[in-house]
């Protein structure tokens, strides 16, 4: 009589991956709330969901390391979820004129860097070259998420903290500068390995 092999839980449904799935689901929800006709409650709801999604960005990596719950699916989806969330929110903020004037250039820099880094990572992955996340990149991500939080609050935030949009805009420029710096780091690494090839 054959022994019954115990079923193993799929890595696709480990806790870090579930948090990443939640972040992906948060993208259309946040966009929908920001698309809602100008209403303070929808901005606060969008901010709340965005904040939870931003926290899971830290938590999924921490839990994966703490409990050795790494998976190829998680490594693929985690940066995709981050980029989708940031890009979608930036587009909505430009569309509703919370980000306007010269600040649009900061948004363009951030979006272009994300596309550049995605392409470089794909190229370097083919060469089996890993690029570790630097401290500056972590500061960039923090500045980016905090700035987007202030800007999502936008007009609703102004009723509680006058200058909310200005604070968000300044932090967006800080994030854009750090984005250029970290993007150049990735580009140098890519060029170096391209020359070797």
The number of domains in the chain is 1
In a domain, residue 1? The reply is no
Short-list 32, 38, 54, 50, CA closest to 158: 38
168 in Cβ contact with 147 (< 8 Å): yes
Domain that holds residue 90: 11-196
Question: Does position 97 have pLDDT exceeding 60, yes or no?
Answer: yes
Confidence of residue 102 (pLDDT cuts 50, 70, 90): very high
Task: Give 28-86 pLDDT, tens digit per residue.
Answer: 999 999 988 767 899 999 999 999 999 988 887 777 677 676 777 767 788 888 889 99
Integer angstrom CA distances of residue 136 from 123, 133, 143, 173, 183: 22, 8, 10, 15, 11
Confidence check: pLDDT of 127 > 70:
no
CATH code, domain carrying 87: 1.20.120.1760
Neighbouring CB atoms inside 10 A of 29's CB total 14
C-alpha span between 31 and 92 (Å, rounded): 7
Residue 4's pLDDT band (cuts 50, 70, 90): very low
In a domain, 5, yes or no: no
């Amino acid at each position: 009589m054959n022994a019954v092999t115990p079923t193993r839980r799929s890595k696709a449904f480990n806790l870090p991956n579930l948090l990443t799935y939640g972040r992906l689901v948060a993208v259309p929800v946040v966009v929908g709330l920001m698309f809602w006709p100008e209403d303070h409650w929808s901005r606060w709801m969008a901010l709340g969901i965005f904040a939870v999604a931003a926290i899971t960005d830290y938590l999924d990596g921490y839990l994966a390391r703490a409990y050795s719950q790494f998976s190829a699916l998680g490594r693929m989806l985690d940066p995709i979820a981050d980029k989708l969330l940031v890009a979608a929110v930036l587009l909505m903020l430009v569309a509703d004129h919370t980000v306007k004037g010269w600040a649009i250039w900061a948004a363009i820099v951030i979006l272009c860097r994300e596309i550049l880094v995605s392409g470089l990572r794909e190229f370097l992955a083919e060469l089996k070259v890993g690029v570790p996340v630097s401290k500056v990149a972590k500061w960039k991500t923090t500045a980016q998420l905090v700035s987007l939080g202030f800007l999502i609050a936008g007009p609703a935030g102004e009723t509680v903290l006058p200058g909310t949009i200005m604070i968000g805009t300044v932090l967006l420029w800080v994030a854009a500068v750090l984005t250029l710096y970290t993007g150049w780091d990735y580009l140098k690494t890519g060029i170096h390995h391209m020359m070797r090839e």
